Amino acid sequence: MSKEALVEVKNLKTYFYTEEGVVKAVDGVDYEIYPGETLGIVGESGCGKSVTSLSIMRLVESPPGRIEAGEINFKGTDLTKLSEKEMRKIRGNDISMIFQEPMTSLNPVYTVGDQIIEAIMLHKQVKRKEARRQAIEMLQKVGIPLPEQRVDEYPHQLSGGMRQRVMIAMALSCDPQLLIADEPTTALDVTIQAQILELMNSLKESYGMAIMMITHDLGVIAEVSDRVAVMYAGKVVEYTDVDTLFDDPKHPYTWGLMNSIPKLDKDVDRLEAIPGSVPSPLNFPEGCKFNTRCPLAEGKCFDVEPPLEDTDGGHMVRCWRYEHLEEIKKRGERIYEDRGVQK
C-alpha cells in the first residue's frame, strides 16, 4: 500500500513488572493502520492483543506496566513520547476506544446523555445546549430509536446492544481518526453482534476513520477487517490481508484457529482443536513460542525464534516450517489430530 500509515507501531514492547517476574505481554509488535481501513487483531486470551491497544492509548496501568521500547507513530508524532496532558487531548478526540462490556462501560449514576455531552465538551468548545443537540444527533446516527427520550435515560434502562450503541456514539462524538474496538461484540447476542458490526462498518464509511478491531472471533474478523494481524504470546505470528489469510493461512497457529471453527459445508465428527493453552508469559519456551503446541515443531523450532518473514508479496509469517505446512495442506491431512504434539 502506498498511502501513508495513520498509525505505525514499531517494535512495541510492553512489559509488566510483577512480583513473580517480568511479564512480556507485548514483545516486539509491528503493524500499520492506514486511513479508512479496518485492521483486525486476533488471538487467544492472554496473547497481548488488548495490551497493544491500551499501549496506543497509553492506558497501560503503571506500575506495574511499562512501555519498554518501540514507537507508536500517529500522524508523525510518537505517542510514547507525549506527556500525559498531551495524551489526554488525543484520547477521545483523535483516537477513541470502545470496550467489551457495555454493561459496565457506562457510569450507572448519570444519564446516557450526560455522558455523551461530557465526551463532547471535553474536546469541543461548545455550550451545553449545543452539546446536547449533538448528543441526540449521535444517538440517532447509531440507530437508537426516540433519541430525544433516550438521551435522558440511565444506562440500566437500556439493553446491552443499546448500551454498546451509546458507547459507540460516545466514542465517535469527536470525529476520531482511529477507533479502537476491544472485543465490542463479545458480550452481545449473535443477532445484536451482526447489527453492531454492520453499524461500525457503515459509520466507518461515513466518518472515513480507521478501526482497530480486537477480537478472538475469526467470524468478526472476516466480517469487518481489511487486514489481519494474528497474535500469539505477545508477538504477531501472521500478518496479511483478510482474503489471503482465510484462503491460505501459513502459520500452524492460524491454521489451527480456523480448523477449530465449525463449518456449514463440511461434515466432521469432531472439530480439530489446538491442544494445550498459551504458555505462561513468565516462562515462555526457548525458540518459537508456539513450539509447545505445534505439531510441526522440530529441531530449530526449539532453539531459535523465527523472524516475521515476508513469504510472498506482503504475507508475513513467523514460522520456520510454513512450507512444510503447505505440503500437509495439499495432502488434506488434519495436522493436530493426526500427529501427537511433541512436548
Partner 1 sequence: MEWQEVLKRLLQNKISLLGILIILFFIVVAVLAPWIAPPQDPDEPYLIPRGGWSIEPQPPSEEHIFGTTEGQYDIFYGIVWGTRTAFRIGLVVVGISSTLGIIIGTVAAYYGGLIDEIIMRITDVFMSIPFIIATIVLVTILGQGITNVMIALITFSWMSTARLMRSQVLSVKEDEFVQAALALGANDFRIIFRHIILNTIFPVVIQASMRMGSMVITASTLSFLGVGAPEGYADWGQMISFARNWILGVEGDPLHYWYTLVIPGIAITLFCLSWNLIGDAFRDILDPKLN
Sheet of 235-241, strand order: 95-98, 178-182, 210-215, 38-42, 227-232, 235-241, 315-317, 309-312
153 makes contact with partner 1 (CB under 8 A) = no
300 makes contact with partner 1 (CB under 8 A) = no
Q: Which of 122, 126, 199, 222 binds partner 1 (CB under 8 A)?
A: 122
Site residues for partner 1, window 221-280 (CB under 8 A)?
Answer: none
Residue located via cell numbers 510472498: 312
- How many C-beta atoms surround the C-beta of residue 38 within 10 A? 24
91 makes contact with partner 1 (CB under 8 A) = yes
Q: Which of 43, 48, 92, 161 binds partner 1 (CB under 8 A)?
A: 92
- Given a contact cutoff of 8 angstroms between Cβ atoms, the answer to whether 279 and 297 are in contact is no
Q: Of all helices (H) and strands (E), which one includes residue 301?
A: none
Site residues for partner 1, window 29-68 (CB under 8 A)?
Answer: 57, 59, 63
Nearer to partner 1, 88 or 324 (CB): 88
d(CA 309, CA 238) in angstroms, rounded, equals 9
Q: How far is the CB of 274 from partner 1 (least distance, A)?
A: 29
Q: How far is the CB of 9 from partner 1 (least distance, A)?
A: 18
d(CA 309, CA 1) in angstroms, rounded, equals 18
Please give the backbone phi and psi of residue 128, each rounded to the nearest 5 degrees, phi first.
-60, -40
Between the alpha carbon of residue 62 and those of residues 16, 28, 262, the distances in Å are 8, 19, 40
Could you tell me which stretch among 71-79, 91-99, 222-230, 263-271 binds partner 1 (CB under 8 A)?
Answer: 91-99
Q: Which of 49, 123, 165, 318 binds partner 1 (CB under 8 A)?
A: 123
C-alpha cell belonging to residue 341: 504434539
Nearer to partner 1, 15 or 99 (CB): 99
Nearer to partner 1, 51 or 218 (CB): 51
Nearer to partner 1, 118 or 272 (CB): 118
341 makes contact with partner 1 (CB under 8 A) = no
Q: How far is the CB of 188 from partner 1 (least distance, A)?
A: 15
100 makes contact with partner 1 (CB under 8 A) = yes
Nearer to partner 1, 114 or 130 (CB): 114
Q: What does DSSP assign to residue 91?
A: B
Q: What does DSSP assign to residue 232?
A: E
- Beta strands 21-33 and 38-42 are unpaired
83 makes contact with partner 1 (CB under 8 A) = no
- Given a contact cutoff of 8 angstroms between Cβ atoms, the answer to whether 309 and 237 are in contact is no
Draw the binding track, 170-189, toward partner 1 (x: CB under 8 A; -: no contact): xx------------------
Q: What does DSSP assign to residue 157?
A: G
Q: How many residues bind partner 1 (CB under 8 A)?
A: 28
Residue located via cell numbers 507508536: 72
Q: How far is the CB of 129 from partner 1 (least distance, A)?
A: 20
d(CA 103, CA 341) in angstroms, rounded, equals 40
Q: Which of 167, 221, 257, 296 binds partner 1 (CB under 8 A)?
A: 167
Of the candidates 1, 4, 51, the residue with the CA atom closest to the CA atom of residue 234: 51
Nearer to partner 1, 80 or 259 (CB): 80
Nearer to partner 1, 102 or 256 (CB): 102
- Site residues (CB under 8 A) for partner 1? 57, 59, 63, 88-93, 96-97, 99-101, 104-110, 118-119, 122-123, 167, 170-171
